[in-house]
Structure 1
């Protein structure tokens, strides 16, 4: 009986149209291209980008949706913020490849991100998005009315979800970045052997 259940589960996994996994370094180029395609190349100028500039995403909360040979088709990241003095997470852009709309990729990314955030002990998540869509995940404007963003935004799109009851009680003031700063990329260091090796001589082509 156990063997049959395992076989059935394996068939379902193979038939699934996509999978959700942790983002990898090799995903970054494809992720940036997907974000440009979904939000335009001027997305870096948006208000919410100010909460991410120079900051690392929250640990374990950069997720990717992949299919067909590990092709990136969706992405979401969460970032640490201070919501008027209350510790919270801010959801970054949620993007899905046009070819995969209607497969539930966006919903699956949100559900996994919220589950991971809760498992890691985070108290609340804040986002800027369409209230009717995000209501399905429990987001409301009930406790974000006294919060602000560093720039222009639509008040009715600022939504919050408490993963721990009362996490946003009394939240008031500006939402500010609170994550760890991004570490600068280290330049590649030449090894002693490469420094001592002479450059090869150019060989002229035969006439």
Structure 2
């Protein structure tokens, strides 16, 4: 696999949006997690693009600032891989890279909405007492501490960082 990753640039925006539209339902922006992103810019150094040897976008990941019970957190996602590259480990590469960059940048915690069996391999675990906007299934609200005790005492509703 000849894949390179780099920080998403403004010129990548349309390609990344097209990838997300390809990989997710057209109504993806109607999901409750998107209300947390409305009018809030993503965390630029945690938005990555993976390109194949032809320079085509093979995958992308974005991350957003949120608040959990009034404390800062990172909301991971969306992450997507083009159908022609699925099964090559690109999503895992992007997730690991985001975890590394976020930890180095001093972010204490990351959460996401996803499948525990998949995200568990990265260290994500179900978060008790953290409430995503409805109708999110609480069993799919997962988090990882990027520093010791990063989630200790952090409970409550997940809100937009701008609120």
Question: TM range, normalised to the smaller chain?
Answer: over 0.9
The match for 1:81 is: 66
Q: Number of matched residues? A: 163
Helix, strand or coil at the partner of 2:125: coil
The match for 1:108 is: 93
Q: Does 1:61 align with 2:46?
A: yes
Deviations 1:132-155 (CA, angstroms, capped at 9, x unpaired)? 0111100001xx211111220111
Q: Distance in 2 between matches of 1:112 and 1:172?
A: 26
Higher strand share: 2
The match for 1:17 is: 2
State how 1:9-158 maps to structure 2 within 5 Å: 16-141=1-126, 144-158=127-141
Q: Distance in 1 between matches of 2:19 and 2:25?
A: 10
Deviation at 1:59, TM superposition (A): 3.4
TM-score relative to the length of structure 1: 0.76
Q: Distance in 1 between matches of 2:147 and 2:71?
A: 12
Q: Distance in 2 between matches of 1:165 and 1:114?
A: 14
State how 1:121-200 maps to structure 2 within 5 Å: 121-141=106-126, 144-178=127-161
Contact 1:57/1:179 (CA < 8 Å) preserved in 2?
no
Larger Rg: 1
Helix, strand or coil at the partner of 1:60: helix
TM-score relative to the length of structure 2: 0.95
Instruction: Name structure 2 gaps, 5 residues minimum.
Output: none
